[in-house]
Structure 1
Amino acid sequence: MEIKIDFHWQLTQHGKPHHIDDILFQMLEAIQQEGSLKQATDKLGVSYRFAWGLLNKWEALLGQPLVILERGRGARLAVVGEKLMHANRHLSASFSPELDNFSTELKREFEAILDHSPRDTFKIFTSHGLAVGALKELIDQQSDFLLDLHFHGSQESLKALKAGDCHIAGFHLPIGELRRHLMTDYLKLLDEKQHQLIYVVRRNQGLMVPKDNPKQISDLSSLTEEGVTFINRQMGSATRTLFDQLIAAHNISSDDIKGYSHEEFTHMAVAAMVASGAADIGFGIAPIADKFNLEFIPLVWEHYCLAVPQLLVDDPRVQAIISLLKSNAFYRKVKDYKGYDTARSGQLVSFDEIFA
């Protein structure tokens, strides 16, 4: 059984509801990326006639053009089309992780009710990341247990592990001097004698800026320039703590950063805000910047690891996770993620290797 909880758009006019199919948002995304209606239809595998009819339908209902077609110059999104696309991106980026959590929980509960012999479940709390998402896909495809995956901040995940609320916790930690603040917090929740660390990926965090970098942002000092707006991660997240450590190391006051108090809860939500023009700079991971067609300015590498109780290391489910992290299938899923290094994926690593 698979359960997918999603949101949808509905436009109501004169008391009549009109459901906006996801294909419209896919079409707007493709037109923005390809700059051509014909290339957009080829990318989506739909006919030109279908696309033309789809756009005409919604332009008539909204009373505004969604796309501007110019002879010899291709296609580009009109103001309303661009607003729709960015709004959908932001909603998806903001709510998808939480909806995925609900989907996983409901799936577990329904299987327990409907199946007399439900699949064994294994609960992971972890910071949201593309690599662990790829791991879940492989487990769902190749393993006989259900991975009950919940996305939370690194520290919240480690607290859940210590409290016995999950089997494994995922966390990320910067490499170098910047690790010290987070390391202190993490080591209050981990014990080298009781926990084993499993390496997932090494990844890069940095600044995400609009394509072509119109405000010529070069490094952290650009955050305080006039006319530059930042979008932050939420207080308590490891990414927020890392960012705060970075600006402190560069003697930058948060009071001098316009938008510092404006927060989002995921890398994708931050990227969506930058892509929409609501902010000029965000802080996050490279592949998310790439996904939203943003430029990325790398600043710091970090470890992304799983912590598991020593007593569970030989558990077949943990061994399956380790094997999948080492597999060619996992490598193929993440090899194109910019700023990701899988050289140590699946290795059992010591506390000294990560925290010392």
Structure 2
Amino acid sequence: MSKQHLMTTSEIAAYLRIKERKIYDLVASNRIPCTRVTGKLLFPKPLIDLWIASETEGGGLERTERRPPIVAGSHDPLLDWALRQADAGLATLFDGSLNGLRLFLEGQALFCGLHVPDASAEDPLGATANRYLFGAGGEAGGAAARVVLVEWARRSQGLILPKGNPKNIQSLQDLAQQGALLRPRQPQAGSRVLLETLIMKADMKPGSVQMDKTVARSEMEAATAIADGEVDAAFGIAAVAKRFDLDFVPLATERYDLAIDRRDYFEEPFQALLAVTRSSQFAEQAERLTGYDISGLGQVMFNG
């Protein structure tokens, strides 16, 4: 993760206005988002800010007014298709996992889709950091009082490349060694967090991957930049690469979740969405899009 988005133990202690020993206690009890790079603790600021929001009493989830019929968070082609099929009067505002989660915590979205890897876990993709954002160490608390976190799908994430892969890029190391230009996502996007997690896990030097100054607000924008010859690569899901007839090198399988208030889970709009997922057309669409594993769809990953 870029330097400006990571804080050291002393910096996070000053940011939270608590003693460093308390930080170590939070890390030991798995109650704060963090990662280790060569044994050193680092704290992703975007996750910390949302963790603070989720721990604040009286947060958005405690409000009694009805939420607007908006689905926020990270864009997912399969979810987008299913929402249209459900025809439940839900608008979409897809602008990254962390932005969507902020809207959800503030009560400005009915539910949100997110995929945020847990860089500190042995399996950073299977144990997503989503749980940090809804209470301490996976326990209900703060804004987590009524949250249900449901698995939507497992998705193949990797490098999206020009058709034919002219530079023969097969890994992040190849990307760095060839000086290929990558169109990045905004820091609040789950794909950006995942890419930087993979770079750290590969023990690559910060800045070794050359990133374009222009930021893509969606994977569609990033793929368009490749198709137009503006950049050499982007990081995203297999379904987007297929849609643009681009090459794809898989690097990870991630879990994409839906976060919703328990009360709203049982209301008609969300139930209409779930009804779509039980149809044969849904399974056919997932296969058509490519890169999806929907065998765990509907599994409750967290119940506040």
TM-score by length of 1: 0.58
Q: Distance in 1 between matches of 2:280 and 2:73?
A: 23
Q: Percent identity?
A: 27
Mapping 1:160-239, distance limit 5 Å: 160-174=103-117, 177-179=123-125, 182-183=129-130, 186-187=133-134, 191=140, 193-239=145-191
Give the match's secondary structure for 1:263: coil
Which shows bigger deviation, 169-178 or 214-223?
Answer: 169-178
Q: Which of 58, 72, 76 is matched with 1:129 structurally?
A: 76
1:349 aligns with 2:297: no
Q: Distance in 1 between matches of 2:214 and 2:199?
A: 16
In the alignment, is the contact (CA less than 8 A) between 1:198 and 1:322 conserved in 2? Answer: no
Structure 2 contact 115–128 (Cα < 8 Å) conserved: no
What is the distance in 2 between the residues matched to 1:311 and 1:152?
25
How far off is 1:159 after superposition? 1.8
Query: Are positions 1:266 and 2:212 aligned together?
Result: no
Instruction: Please identify the structure whose Cα radius of gyration is greater.
Output: 1
Q: 2:205 aligns with which of 218, 235, 253?
A: 253
Q: In the TM superposition, what whole-angstrom CA distance separates every residue of 1:31-86 from its partner, at most 9, and x where no partner exists?
A: xxxxxxxxxxxxxxxxxxxxxxxxxxxxxxxxxxxxxxxxxxxxxxxxxxxxxxxx
- CA deviation profile, 1:216-272 (whole Å, cap 9, x unmatched): 111110121244222211122111111111101112234222235442111111111
1:275 to 227, 230, 254: 227
- Uncovered stretches (5+) of structure 2, i.e. residues with no partner: 1-66
1:338 is displaced (CA, Å) by 1.6
Greater mean alpha carbon deviation, residues 257-266 or residues 203-212: 257-266
Q: Answer whether contact 1:138 1:330 (CA < 8 A) is retained.
A: no
Give SS of 1:233's match. coil
Using the alignment, how far apart are the partners of 1:188 and 1:156 within structure 2?
Answer: 18
Q: 1:318 to 1:252 in 2, by over 3 A?
A: same
**Contact preservation (8 Å) 2:112, 2:260:** yes
Provide the rounded CA distance (Å) in 2 between the counterparts of 1:259 and 1:236.
16
Matched, 1:244 2:191: no
Instruction: Work out whether residues 205 and 284 of structure 1, in 8 Å CA contact, stay in contact via their aligned partners in 2.
Output: yes
Q: Secondary structure at the match of 1:255?
A: coil
Q: Contact between 1:271 and 1:288, CA under 8 Å: does it hold in 2? A: yes
Cα distance in 2 for partners of 1:184, 1:314 equals: 21
Give the Cα–Cα distance (whole angstroms) in 1 for the partners of residues 260 and 171 of structure 2: 37
The one-letter code matched in structure 1 to 2:123 is: E
Local SS of the residue matching 1:256: coil
Q: Which residue of structure 1 aligns with residue 254 of structure 2?
A: 302
Q: List per-residue Cα deviations over 1:243-302 (Å, max 9, x = no partner).
A: 111101112234222235442111111111122222112110101111222111111111
The answer to whether the 8 Å contact 2:116/2:128 transfers is no
Q: Which runs of 5+ in 1 are unaligned?
A: 1-119
Task: Check whether the contact 1:205–1:286 (CA below 8 A) recurs between aligned residues.
Answer: yes
Q: Mean alpha-carbon deviation: is it higher for 121-130 or for 150-159?
A: 121-130
Asked if 1 retains the 8 angstrom alpha-carbon contact of 2:117 and 2:130, the reply is: no
The 3-state SS of whatever aligns with 1:305 is strand
Deviations 1:292-335 (A, max 9, x none): 22111111111112111112222232222222122223223222
The 1:300–1:317 alpha-carbon spacing in structure 2 relative to 1, beyond 3 Å, is same
Q: How many residues align?
A: 228
Q: 1:343 to 1:261 in 2, by over 3 A?
A: same
Change (3 A) 1:231 1:324: same
Are the equivalent residues in 2 in contact too, given 1:134–1:334 (CA < 8 A)? no
The question of whether the paired residues in 2 share the 8 Å contact of 1:208 and 1:283 is answered with yes
Q: Write the distance in 1 (CA, Å) between the matches of 2:150 and 2:178.
A: 44
Task: Report the Cα distance in structure 1 between the residues aligned to 2:207 and 2:178, rounded to whole angstroms.
Answer: 13
Residues 80-101 of structure 1: CA distance to partner in whole angstroms, max 9, x if unpaired? xxxxxxxxxxxxxxxxxxxxxx
- TM-score, length of structure 2 as denominator length: 0.68
CA contact (8 A) 1:173 1:182 kept: yes
Q: Contact conserved, 1:182 with 1:241, CA < 8 A, in 2?
A: no
